[in-house]
Amino acid sequence: MDSSAAVLGLESSCDETAAAVLRADGTILAEAVLSQLREHAPFGGVVPEIAARAHLEHLPGLVRRVMAEAGLGYGDLAGVAATSGPGLIGGLIVGASVGKGIALAHRLPFVAVNHLEAHALTATLPGLVPGGARFPYLLLLISGGHCQCVAVEGVGRYRRLGTTLDDAVGEAFDKAAKLLGLPWPGGPALERLAAQGDAARFPLPRPLLGRAGCDFSFSGLKTAVANVLARLPGPPGEQEKADLAAGFQAAAAAVLADRAGHALAMLPGATALVVAGGVAANAAVRAGLQAVAAKRGLPLVAPPIRLCTDNAVMVAWAGVERLQRGLVDELGHAPRPRWPLEELAG
């Protein structure tokens, strides 16, 4: 695949509608993300039907926009990549259908991208680290729906070392934020509030800290926040909320750092610790992981903030990586709401 060849990427797995055009050398020619926060905020979370309708309404326009910004026609593309799972099935169908339609109309290869693989391969995007991260590396995938330690051994080659036993860490952030009366999405709001708080005021548990393996558990930490609030003599004041937010964030960051350290011990040949997903945007979490990586003489590879959350740049890059290896999907490929990384072929 020529380094100047371009791939169109589409993302619609949850509540971000996104499109991007990348060259095979990693140059981003155009990218666009449309957030649906305003549509879902009144409900305190993502409503699948609303998300699917928004993708259907906005994705075609975003595609036209990025193609125009890239200065390309569809016939100039080397392929089309669309997230085809895991995620909300309505949104996946919209994105995959748009991608397949473009591929069919212009006789282009189609790549059905696994959303988790797109996060995993962001670390190999040239420019993020010099030359891209080298396999194998440890991926800590932390978001509202996922919390996993994964050995990334190559494109299509993944071993899950540990996962959450209950809540994903992003889900726990959102639930704790809701208990504190913060708006949705809770993670960013909780981080802002925590900056004003004293993390030592309300000691909170560190679930599974120091335990063997690298599984996670966050349900008890969320419950501990509820218990602290229940024991207060009255409604919490602003400083109490800030202190509790800081305590929760410190506990979550400590657990993530501990589990990542255990996972690195399970992957002695790792070249880097890579963190991806929405929670990777949290500064306290990044600082804890940076310390873990440095202790082992490894770099911490974290995407720019805009590429931590769902985006089409990572989808297009996963498409590039797969197309370069001749990994093309049939237009009959069905989107999958559940699609474990271990089931991918490389």
Q: Annotated binding residue at 44?
A: no
Q: Annotated binding residue at 187?
A: yes
Q: Parallel, antiparallel, or unpaired for β 147-154 and 300-301?
A: unpaired
Tokens for 134, please give them.
């080298």
d(C-alpha 314, C-alpha 253), whole Å: 25
Q: Which amino acid is at 188?
A: P
Report CA 182 to chain centroid distance, whole Å.
22
Q: Three-class SS of residue 162?
A: strand
DSSP letter string, 61-107:
HHHHHHHHHHT--GGGEEEEEEEEESS-HHHHHHHHHHHHHHHHHTT
d(C-alpha 314, C-alpha 83), whole Å: 10
Q: Annotated binding residue at 310?
A: yes
Contact criterion met (CB below 8 Å) for 294 and 53 = no
Q: Annotated binding residue at 174?
A: yes
Q: Parallel, antiparallel, or unpaired for β 137-142 and 273-276?
A: parallel
d(C-alpha 57, C-alpha 164), whole Å: 34
**Buried (b) or exposed (e) across 230-261, using 16+ Cβ within 10 A?**
eeeeeebeeebbbbbbbbbbbbbbbbbbbbbb
Alpha-carbon distances, residue 68 vs 20, 29, 193, 202 (angstroms): 11, 10, 40, 53
Sign of the Cα torsion 227, 229, 234, 239 reads positive
d(C-alpha 202, C-alpha 247), whole Å: 6
**Residue carrying structure tokens 């900056």:** 195
**Residue carrying structure tokens 């194998």:** 136
Q: Annotated binding residue at 144?
A: yes
Q: Annotated binding residue at 191?
A: yes
Q: Annotated binding residue at 115?
A: yes
Q: Annotated binding residue at 142?
A: yes
Binding-site members for substrate are 141-145, 174, 187, 191, 282
Query: Which segments are annotated as binding site for Fe cation?
Result: 115, 119, 310
**Binding-site sequence positions:** 115, 119, 141-145, 174, 187, 191, 282, 310
